């Protein structure tokens, strides 16, 4: 597929979006943060104060270093800046150390490292096909994608309230995807390897990468009907890939479920969009069936799906269901009363925007979602009121304290499973010609 | 995208920003200053360690100002809930007026009473008589912040939305941009949510008054404004324009016919509203007098603390406070205020159009701010509201003034530990208003209404006035940024301890004075023809 780059000069709206969200993040510096804050402070201390050989042995804190080495080096480089804010936080024995300087540094580090995410989003927006006729800015797919990525509710809430470095990591993922969409496969593979060495949860996406690169990069030609031409195998390319991607192997349940999707990637057309679809199925499959999955892992599926959603009508429908359900499932992460207005307001903002923008983008006959799906999403309101307001104030709070969490998880699981099935169906259905938007 | 979705996204974002500001705690200031200074002063010995200049906010120096207003509001809830109405404004054994006595008109008291009922149902300890003094807890802070948000949501924000959608001209995109910038004005957000006040209520009610007058509903407009007056007496800054506009309109309609009818209707609305608000206090004239005495304390001086008005700035050069007796100070300020207000109000009387009304609101409140007696720095918000109404028509001057007004309150924000919200909201406001309203692009002598200036400077025909105005804007922004940085990072020399606050107020004063002169000139010049047929009546 030929990708048309977004017209140069049309991206004057990107800096305001990026700056606006960064300024908003600065307002949350003093909001609630979870134990992940202490986790990262501890890793700053470990990497700063101890020799490398002790990094993965140190266990005076219960939050031992459990990310791959590249992340440890990342924390090490951050620690050099941290010492100017509050050197006490870099002492390993200062468990649960919280000072205004430490809070400020950690929060600002997330805001600044989000620069990688902003760069990744820029690259993805450049890969989006623009429609032929000139539309006004708000209706362009690249603008909608930029908002859906930069102002993503889940990322804002998990990174800047709960506290994590997902923006930084997802930046690498988006860059890798963008490179693949631009057919720069080696660069994409390199970025993915870096990502794998930053956080191993992305192993769930490795099968998709493996099969796609093997099929579309190592086999340089196809037969006319799309099946593989075995004679066109290029050992050089395979070696190049192998040299870059060293740890691609499937370890958990997810990839087994993704098997039919992987087969389709092998047998079907070579396009990078099909790759993106299979990647999504791997991520979502691992989320549904994996071992010790965090609710934050739903972002692994939501963010790449944004890229497909602005281009394809069917994907936009799946995106709306998955995003709304997935984002709502993050609500139990922020259980403090002070952050309640923030999560409700931000969720409303993002939901209103995604619905109206995608509907405008894919304006045409028929609706994006079926009536049952609309009813399900409207039901989320009732679930929200029940779990956030009614149940905590009722007498059952003492006897059944986990009931709100149970209701939330069960209700959202229906939506996530449904999105998974929709994605699978859209992949295995014979490929339609991409509609002109 | 449809307007309603853009409007709701703007409102939601405005609410998130407000709540984000209110989450900020007191101690961010200490360590942010330390961090900045440490990073910047590595090796530079002439920047002293900042702990010295933060001595005025150390725990031993008495109640910090932020908790002052916060505790005052909490105390009013306690007083209004537990004591009968007759005792609210009196000094009794139960009610010690020296400890944050009630000094706003009755509507504030009723509002506190409503909040007190809610507080009592959540946790009775919050409003227990005497025992709850100085009560602080995270839940209580959350409750108080929530009351401000709810009040804003009910009163202020709908008024802004309706104003921007129905009383401004331009495409819907432009209206939403104006709405966004209006809601993002940092001064109001920082004072209400950082410092803690309910300005959103009084300004919201005043805005409803303006809205009603703009739509031609004069009686409703008067009702709304009277409610605003009965909420905060400082709304008197806006009273003259309302009066002159309605009087001028009645005169235009003919004093013997419909004009008289209008006048009678408005007068009865005003009297009725006042009577309704003051009803419980009217049974005893002494009672009413006591309330008035509490609301208008005349025993204080010409100005308190550093404020960006004429008297404080003049005091730097000529010690006005010590030269004149306190009586002559009152007369001087009265005379100057009246003189400053007169031209604008007379013009409005003769030409009661909505455009003139908006300009008169700005001019009158600015005149009061600059020349009046006992002005607080927060009173600039009363000027900021009318100027926000002008965002659509005079974007460059409006943005400039609003930025300067936020800057003028910077010493107050620093005292409350609101440095980060101040920087974030000011940057956001400046950036987004310039990006969305593009004031610097549509910058010509015509759009800036520099006709009179051109005539005054006839001897310099080649001068590009628009270019000068643009550069004055850039310089002023740079100056405010520089002064903000300097105030935070440096310690003033020991023989000039108030150097930085005075620099801030003097700079702000110059900008306010310039705006005052400019807006008066605009009020007296003819509006461009394309505007006159779109303006309402």
Tens place of pLDDT per residue across chain A (437 aa): 333 444 444 578 899 999 999 999 999 988 888 888 999 999 999 999 888 888 888 888 888 888 888 888 899 999 999 988 888 888 888 888 888 889 999 999 999 999 999 999 999 999 888 877 767 888 889 999 999 999 999 999 999 988 899 999 999 999 999 999 888 888 888 888 888 888 888 888 888 888 888 877 777 766 666 676 777 777 777 777 766 665 443 333 334 455 667 677 776 666 788 888 888 888 888 888 877 788 888 998 999 999 999 988 999 999 999 999 999 999 998 888 888 999 999 999 999 999 999 999 888 888 888 899 999 999 999 999 999 888 888 888 888 888 889 999 999 999 999 999 998 888 877 655 444 44
B236 lies in the same domain as B364: no
Q: Which residue matches tokens 């209110």?
A: B22
H helices of B372-464, where?
A: 380-389, 395-408, 410-415, 419-437, 451-456
Residues 492-521 of B with CB under 8 A from A: none
Q: Which of A80, A112, A283, A323 is nearest to A195 (CA)?
A: A283
Q: Which domain holds residue B492?
A: 304-534
Query: What is the count of residue pairs from A and B with beta carbons less than 8 Å apart?
Result: 93
Distance CA A170, CA A118 (A): 10
Smallest CA–CA distance, residue B329 to chain A, in Å, is: 43
Residue B174: inside a domain: no
Chain A CB contacts of B428 below 8 Å: 19-20, 23
B273 in Cβ contact with B230 (< 8 Å): yes
Contact B16 A356 (CB under 8 A): no
Tens-digit pLDDT profile for residues A229-284: 777 777 777 777 766 665 443 333 334 455 667 677 776 666 788 888 888 888 88
DSSP A96: T
B1/A139 CB distance under 8 A: yes
Same domain, B202 and B313: no
User: Domain check: are B120 and B225 in the same one?
Assistant: yes
- Contacts B431 to A, Cβ<8 Å: 16, 19
Task: Tell me: do B275 and B329 sit in the same domain.
Answer: no
- B308 and B292 belong to one structural domain: no
Which among B262, B296, B330 is the end of a domain?
B296
Q: How remote is the C-alpha of B124 from its chain's centroid?
A: 33
Is the domain of B353 the same as that of B428? yes
pLDDT in tens, chain B (537 residues): 688 999 999 999 999 999 999 887 533 334 444 444 444 444 333 333 333 233 232 222 234 444 678 888 888 998 899 888 888 888 888 777 788 888 899 999 999 999 999 999 988 888 888 877 777 888 888 999 999 999 999 999 999 999 999 999 899 999 999 999 999 999 999 999 988 899 999 999 999 999 999 999 999 999 999 999 999 999 999 999 999 999 999 998 887 888 888 999 999 999 999 999 998 888 888 888 888 888 887 666 666 677 888 888 887 777 777 777 778 888 888 899 999 999 999 999 999 999 999 999 999 999 999 998 888 889 999 999 999 999 999 999 999 999 999 999 999 998 888 899 999 999 999 999 999 998 888 777 777 777 777 777 777 777 778 888 889 999 999 999 999 999 988 888 888 888 888 899 999 999 999 999 999 999 988 766 544 444 443
Residue B9, domain member (yes or no): no
Q: How far is Cα B345 from Cα B244, in angstroms, rounded to an integer?
A: 6
Instruction: Count structural domains, chain B.
Output: 2
Is B139 at the interface with chain A, CB within 8 A?
yes
Contact predicate A302/A323, CB 8 Å: yes
At B401 the three-state DSSP class reads helix
Beta bridge partners of B19: none
Is B3's Cβ below 8 Å from some Cβ in A? no
CA torsion angle B229 B234 B238 B242 (round to 10): 20
Look at B16 and A360 and tell me if their CB atoms are within 8 Å.
Answer: no
Contact B420 A352 (CB under 8 A): no
Nearest to A356 among B2, B421, B428 (CB): B2
For A351, name the nearest residue in chain B, comparing CA atoms only. B9
Q: What is the pLDDT of residue A1?
A: 35
Q: How far apart are CA B286 and CA A212, in angstroms?
A: 88
Find out whether B487 and B504 touch, Cβ atoms under 8 Å. Answer: yes
Q: Which residues pair with A222 in a beta bridge?
A: A228
Whether residue B312 lies inside any domain: the answer is yes
| Residue among B252, B249, B233 at smallest CA distance from B241 | B249
Tell me if B238 is assigned to some domain: yes
> What is the structure's pLDDT at B310?
84
User: Do B310 and B286 share a structural domain?
Assistant: no
Domain assignment present for B405:
yes
B82 and B211 share a domain?
A: yes
- Answer yes or no: pTM beyond 0.90: no
Q: Which residues pair with A234 in a beta bridge?
A: none
| Domain-located, residue B217 | yes
Q: Is A63 helix (H, G, I), strand (E, B) or coil?
A: coil
Same domain assignment for residues B271 and B410? no
The residue among A275, A126, A305 whose CA lies nearest residue A205 is A275
| H-assigned helices in A92-165 | 100-126, 141-150, 153-157
Contact A100 B428 (CB under 8 A): no
Asked if A100 lies within 8 A of B21 by C-beta distance, the reply is no
Residue labelled with tokens 């057309």: A269
**Are A23 and B149 in contact (CB < 8 Å)?**
no
Lookup: tokens for B99: 């400890």
* Rounded to 5°, angle at Cα B187 from B182 and B189: 75
Give yes or no for a contact between B231 and B205, defined as CB atoms under 8 angstroms apart. Answer: yes
E-state strands within B213-350: none
For B384, residues 6+ apart whose C-beta sits below 8 A from its C-beta are B185, B187, B188, B401, B402, B405
CB distance B31–A345 less than 8 Å? no
What separation in angstroms does the CA of A194 have from each of A169, A175, A187? 10, 11, 11
Q: Which pLDDT score is estimated for A342? A: 92
Length of chain A: 437
Residue B353 sits in the same domain as residue B483: yes
How is residue B173 annotated by DSSP?
Answer: H
Q: ipTM beyond 0.95?
A: no
Q: Is residue B27 part of a domain?
A: no
Q: B528 and B429 in one domain? A: yes
- What is the C-alpha separation between B192 and B22, in angstroms, rounded? 9
CB pair distance less than 8 Å for A24 and B15: no
In the DSSP assignment, the letter for residue B374 is S
Question: Which of B296, B327, B350 represents a domain boundary (last residue)?
Answer: B296
Distance of CA B316 to the CA centre of its chain: 25
Q: What is the pLDDT of residue A246?
A: 54
CA distance B232 to B111: 12
Judgement on whether residues B292 and B435 belong to the same structural domain of the protein: no
Task: Determine the 3-state secondary structure of B2 from DSSP.
Answer: coil
The residue from B231, B265, B296 where one domain ends is B296
* Residue-level pLDDT at B302: 67
- Quick check: B514 and B319 in contact, CB under 8 A? no
Residue of A nearest to B436 (CA): A16
The residue with tokens 């259980």 is A335
Tokens of B10: 């703007």
The two three-digit tokens of residue B279, written as one number: 């009803």
* Residue B340 within any structural domain of the chain: yes
What span, in angstroms and rounded, lies between the C-alpha atoms of B401 and B407?
10
């Amino acid at each position: 597929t030929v990708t048309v780059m977004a017209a140069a000069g049309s991206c004057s709206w990107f800096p305001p979006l990026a700056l606006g969200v960064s300024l908003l993040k600065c307002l949350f510096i003093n909001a609630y943060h979870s134990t992940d804050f202490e986790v990262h402070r501890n890793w700053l201390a470990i990497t700063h104060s101890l020799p490398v050989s002790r990094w993965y042995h140190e266990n005076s804190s219960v939050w031992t270093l459990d990310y791959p080495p590249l992340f440890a080096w990342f924390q090490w480089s951050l620690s050099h800046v941290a010492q100017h804010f509050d050197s006490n936080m870099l002492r390993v024995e200062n468990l649960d150390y919280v000072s205004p300087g430490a809070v400020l540094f950690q929060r600002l580090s997330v805001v600044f490292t989000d620069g990688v995410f902003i760069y990744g989003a820029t690259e993805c927006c450049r890969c989006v096909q623009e429609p032929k006729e000139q539309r006004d800015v708000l209706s362009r797919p690249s603008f909608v994608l930029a908002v859906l990525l930069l102002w993503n509710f889940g990322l804002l809430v998990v990174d800047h309230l709960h506290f994590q470095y997902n923006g930084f990591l997802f930046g690498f993922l988006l860059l890798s995807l963008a490179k693949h969409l631009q057919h720069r496969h080696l660069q994409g593979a390199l970025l993915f390897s870096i990502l794998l060495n930053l956080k191993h949860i992305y192993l769930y996406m490795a099968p998709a990468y493996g099969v796609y690169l093997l099929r579309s990069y190592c086999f340089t030609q196809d037969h006319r009907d799309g099946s593989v031409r075995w004679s066109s195998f290029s050992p050089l390319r395979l070696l190049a890939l192998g040299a870059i991607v060293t740890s691609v192997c499937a370890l958990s349940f997810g990839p087994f479920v993704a098997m039919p999707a992987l087969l389709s990637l092998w047998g079907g057309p070579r396009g990078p969009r099909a790759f993106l679809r299979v990647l999504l199925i791997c991520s979502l499959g691992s989320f549904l069936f994996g071992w010790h999955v965090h609710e934050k892992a739903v972002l692994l599926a939501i963010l790449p799906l944004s890229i497909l959603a602005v281009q394809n009508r069917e994907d936009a429908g799946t995106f709306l269901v998955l995003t709304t359900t997935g984002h709502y499932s993050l609500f139990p992460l922020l259980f403090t009363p002070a952050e309640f207005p923030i999560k409700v307001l931000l969720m409303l903002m993002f939901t209103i925007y995604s619905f109206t923008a995608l509907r405008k983008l894919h304006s045409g006959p028929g609706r994006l979602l079926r009536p049952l799906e609309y009813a399900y999403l409207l039901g989320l309101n009732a679930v929200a009121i029940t779990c956030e307001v009614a149940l905590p104030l009722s007498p059952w709070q003492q006897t059944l304290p986990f009931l709100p969490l149970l209701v939330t998880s069960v209700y959202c699981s229906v939506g996530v499973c449904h999105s998974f099935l929709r994605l699978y169906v859209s992949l295995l259905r014979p490929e339609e010609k991409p509609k002109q938007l | 995208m449809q307007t309603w979705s853009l409007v709701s996204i703007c409102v939601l974002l405005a609410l998130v920003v407000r709540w984000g500001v209110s989450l900020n705690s007191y101690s961010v200031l200490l360590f942010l200053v330390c961090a900045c200074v440490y990073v910047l002063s590595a090796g530079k010995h002439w920047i002293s360690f900042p702990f010295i200049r933060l001595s005025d906010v150390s725990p031993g120096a008495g109640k910090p100002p932020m908790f002052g207003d916060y505790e005052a509001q909490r105390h009013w809830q306690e007083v209004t809930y537990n004591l009968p109405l007759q005792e609210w404004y009196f000094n009794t054994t139960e009610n010690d007026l020296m400890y944050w006595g009630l000094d706003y008109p009755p509507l504030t008291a009723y509002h506190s009473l409503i909040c007190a009922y809610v507080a009592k149902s959540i946790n009775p300890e919050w409003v227990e008589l005497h025992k709850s003094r100085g009560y602080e807890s995270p839940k209580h802070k959350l409750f108080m912040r929530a009351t401000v948000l709810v009040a804003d949501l009910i009163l202020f924000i709908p008024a802004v939305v309706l104003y921007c959608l129905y009383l401004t001209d331009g495409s819907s995109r432009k209206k939403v941009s104006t709405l966004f910038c209006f809601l993002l004005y940092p001064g109001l957000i920082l004072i209400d949510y950082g410092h803690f006040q309910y300005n959103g209520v009084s300004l919201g009610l005043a805005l409803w008054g303006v809205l009603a007058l703009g739509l031609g509903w004069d009686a409703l407009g008067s009702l709304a404004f009277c409610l605003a007056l009965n909420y905060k007496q400082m709304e008197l800054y806006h009273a003259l324009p309302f009066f002159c506009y309605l009087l001028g309109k009645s005169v235009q309609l003919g004093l013997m016919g419909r004009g008289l009818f209008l006048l009678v209707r408005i007068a009865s609305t005003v009297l009725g509203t006042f009577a309704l608000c003051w009803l419980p206090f009217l049974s005893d004239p002494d009672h009413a007098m006591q309330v008035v005495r509490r609301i208008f304390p005349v025993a204080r001086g010409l100005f308190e603390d550093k404020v960006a008005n004429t008297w404080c700035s003049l005091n730097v050069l000529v010690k006005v406070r010590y030269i004149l007796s306190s009586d002559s100070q009152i007369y001087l300020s009265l005379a100057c205020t009246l003189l400053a207000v007169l031209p604008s109000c007379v013009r409005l009387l003769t030409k009661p159009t909505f455009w003139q009304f908006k300009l008169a609101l700005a001019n009158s409140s600015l005149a009061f701010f600059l020349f009046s007696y006992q002005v607080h720095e927060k009173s600039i918000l009363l000027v900021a509201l009318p100027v926000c109404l002008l965002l659509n028509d005079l974007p460059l001057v409006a943005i400039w003034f609003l930025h300067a007004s936020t800057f003028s309150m910077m010493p107050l924000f620093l005292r409350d530990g609101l440095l980060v919200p101040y920087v974030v909201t000011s940057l956001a406001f400046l950036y987004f208003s310039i990006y969305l309203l593009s004031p610097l692009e549509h910058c010509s002598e015509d759009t800036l209404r520099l006709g009179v200036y051109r005539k005054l400077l006839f001897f310099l025909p080649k001068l590009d006035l628009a270019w000068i105005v643009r550069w004055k804007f850039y310089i002023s922004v740079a100056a405010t940024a520089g002064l903000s940085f300097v105030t935070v990072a440096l310690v003033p020399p020991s023989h000039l301890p108030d150097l930085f606050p005075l620099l801030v107020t003097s700079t702000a004063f110059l900008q306010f004075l310039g705006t005052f002169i400019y807006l008066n000139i605009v009020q007296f010049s003819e509006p461009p023809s394309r505007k006159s047929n779109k303006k309402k009546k």
